[in-house]
Amino acid sequence: MNYRRINIFFLSAGVSLLISCTTARKNSISKKFAANPVVAHRGAFKKNGFPENSVASLKEAIRLKCTGSEFDVRMTADDSLIINHDPNFNKLEIEKTTYAELSQYKLPNGEKLPTLREYLLAGIAGNKLTRLVLEIKPSGLGKERGKLIAARSVALVKELNAAPMTVYISFDYDILKKVMEADPGASTQYLNGERSPEQLKADGIAGADYHFSVFKKNPGWIEEAKKYKLILNAWTVNDTEAMDWLLKSGFDFITTNEPELLLKKTASSAK
Ligand code: MG
């Protein structure tokens, strides 16, 4: 029996399996998540008056069975990863303030300023259907710090075994490249809108998550993205006309402040 041949066979089978698993996670339009295109922008905050990016808004998106819930990650002066959209929290510049100082102030619903660890733990608890759409904000203190935020975010996602649930998005291309360096199987989507699907594909980015006006201006990019099997996502879509156009155009995900409206729309169109 030719053992060398058998070994080569098993080795190549293993490599193919590894490649196919990596590809599956990169383009994670998996059946195991909720079968709707609704990504709640900063959680499902609006209808119930929850603060944006609060644990309450994340839990509401999960309760609604949105396919994704988006949130923004920044890093404090003492390297704590926290969830907040703006560069300031209660008039304090996040990147120049410690977590202890920032967390003296609560969110309007009484929640403490969530750390990424707390947010991910809340996001994976009892949740099988809603992706965690993690936006890494570029750092105002330079490119290198932005990449550090990316590397530390990926390390924490891995530590908490949240990688299969997580999609990374950013306006900064180098941040996404850093994410893929730290986790080659990570699913990434680019937000800034100036790169063609062909460019994204060439760089291993899994999806185009652009403002919907970008796709209106470049309608050819929709077919191009489909041709390259990229994920198509648009933000931030709050009116019914744009929702209808994106649904008709076959978008995988639509990021919205009105998840209840879009869920209702997709449920009725599925009948
Ligand atoms: Mg965001």
Per-residue pLDDT band at 29 (split at 50, 70, 90) = low
What does each C-alpha distance from 212 to 35, 169, 219, 235, 247 come to in angstroms?
21, 16, 10, 6, 12
Cα of 24 to ligand 1 centre, how many Å? 25
Domain hosting residue 260, numbered range: 35-269
Tell me the pTM.
0.91
151: pLDDT strictly greater than 90:
yes
The total number of structural domains in the chain stands at: 1
Cα of 5 to ligand 1 centre, how many Å? 51
Report yes or no on 222 lying in a domain.
yes
> Average pLDDT of 185-197?
98
Which run of H or E residues covers position 222? helix 220-227
In this predicted model, what pLDDT tens digit does every residue of 219-258 receive, in sequence order?
999 999 999 999 999 999 999 999 999 999 999 999 999 9
Per-residue pLDDT band at 9 (split at 50, 70, 90) = low
> Average pLDDT of 75-84?
98
Cα of 19 to ligand 1 centre, how many Å? 30
Report yes or no on 85 lying in a domain.
yes
Contact between 185 and 21 (Cβ < 8 Å): yes
Report yes or no on 227 lying in a domain.
yes
Cα of 183 to ligand 1 centre, how many Å? 21
The enclosing domain of 141 has a CATH number of 3.20.20.190
Cα of 59 to ligand 1 centre, how many Å? 17
In this predicted model, what pLDDT tens digit does every residue of 48-67 receive, in sequence order?
999 999 999 999 999 999 99
Range 72-92 burial, b when 16+ CB lie within 10 A, else e: bbbbbbeebbbbbeeeebeeb
Report yes or no on 23 lying in a domain.
no
Report yes or no on 95 lying in a domain.
yes
Cα of 244 to ligand 1 centre, how many Å? 22
Cα of 137 to ligand 1 centre, how many Å? 8
Report yes or no on 12 lying in a domain.
no
